[in-house]
């Protein structure tokens, strides 16, 4: 049995999230069908995280165990051949050491949230950005985002259906900056609560619009109440961009 670490890129618009669901299109379902077509093996893969409906990825990481030790290039190319009609691409395949796990071995996950900030709606990027017409103050948003950095109880930014045992997380990075007509929000943490990033992004947009201040964000965080959260940003602008595994970034058997 050989364990492979795969790095994925996918367009979340056509899927009902990552996790496999009966009779619904999902990223996991697409990959597992490709594995079956390629190897004849039925399996259940493991992922670094489960993205929601409409959320994209440029650096999702998964692992799967194959009964035959194929070459890494063969695994990548064969899966991509069977995914050609899907919105999923295998960017890289590598043999993983014994005991390595896509989810439990991860030390950091990074997300990007893209906001198109102009009067005109998106043409090419419809479904890939959140369109906000009114001008956003990215500097004010970045200042307010620093309130969220650190070890906190993030109940305010936690979805009511979140199944995490604890709302306490450590946010290592929160950064907001303007890039042309877009405002980008970057977040990094070992792990996130369900819809935490979208909840933080929506709240920070309130700051960018001049409706909230940094102090309002602090009070919302300290309230530890979901009702204190600002609007939740739509899924369209969210991307899982990277998953880190400490010093061992390219595992080999």
Q: Which residues form the catalytic set?
A: 52
For residue 225, what are the contacts with CB-CB under 8 A and spacing of at least 6? 155, 156
Cα gap 53→51, rounded to integer Å: 7
Q: Angle formed by the axes of helices 138-145 and 196-208, to 10°?
A: 130
Beta-strand pair 130-131/182-189 = unpaired
Cα gap 8→29, rounded to integer Å: 14
Cα gap 142→120, rounded to integer Å: 24
Is there a contact between 62 and 44 (Cβ–Cβ < 8 Å)?
no
**Six-digit token pair at 141?**
């948003």
């Amino acid at each position: 049995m050989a364990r492979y670490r795969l790095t994925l890129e996918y367009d979340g618009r056509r899927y009902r999230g990552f996790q496999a669901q009966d009779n619904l299109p999902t990223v996991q379902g697409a990959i597992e069908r490709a594995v079956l077509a390629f190897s004849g093996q039925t399996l259940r893969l493991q992922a670094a995280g489960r993205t929601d409906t409409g959320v994209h990825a440029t650096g999702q990481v998964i692992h799967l165990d194959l009964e035959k030790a194929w070459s890494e290039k063969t695994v990548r190319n064969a899966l991509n051949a069977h995914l050609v009609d899907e919105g999923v691409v295998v960017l890289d395949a590598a043999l993983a050491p014994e005991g390595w796990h896509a989810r439990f071995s991860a030390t950091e996950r990074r997300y990007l949230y893209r906001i198109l900030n102009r009067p005109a709606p998106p043409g090419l990027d419809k479904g890939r950005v959140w369109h906000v017409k009114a001008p956003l103050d990215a500097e004010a948003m970045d200042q307010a985002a620093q309130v969220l950095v650190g070890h906190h109880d993030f109940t305010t930014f936690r979805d009511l259906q979140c199944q995490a045992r604890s709302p306490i997380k450590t946010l290592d990075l929160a950064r907001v900056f303007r890039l042309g007509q877009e405002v980008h929000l970057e977040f990094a943490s070992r792990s996130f609560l369900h819809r935490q990033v979208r909840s933080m992004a929506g709240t920070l947009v309130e700051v960018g619009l001049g409706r909230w201040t940094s102090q309002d964000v602090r009070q919302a965080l300290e309230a530890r109440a979901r009702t204190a959260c600002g609007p939740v940003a739509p899924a369209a602008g969210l991307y899982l961009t990277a998953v880190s595994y400490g010093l061992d970034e390219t595992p080999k058997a």
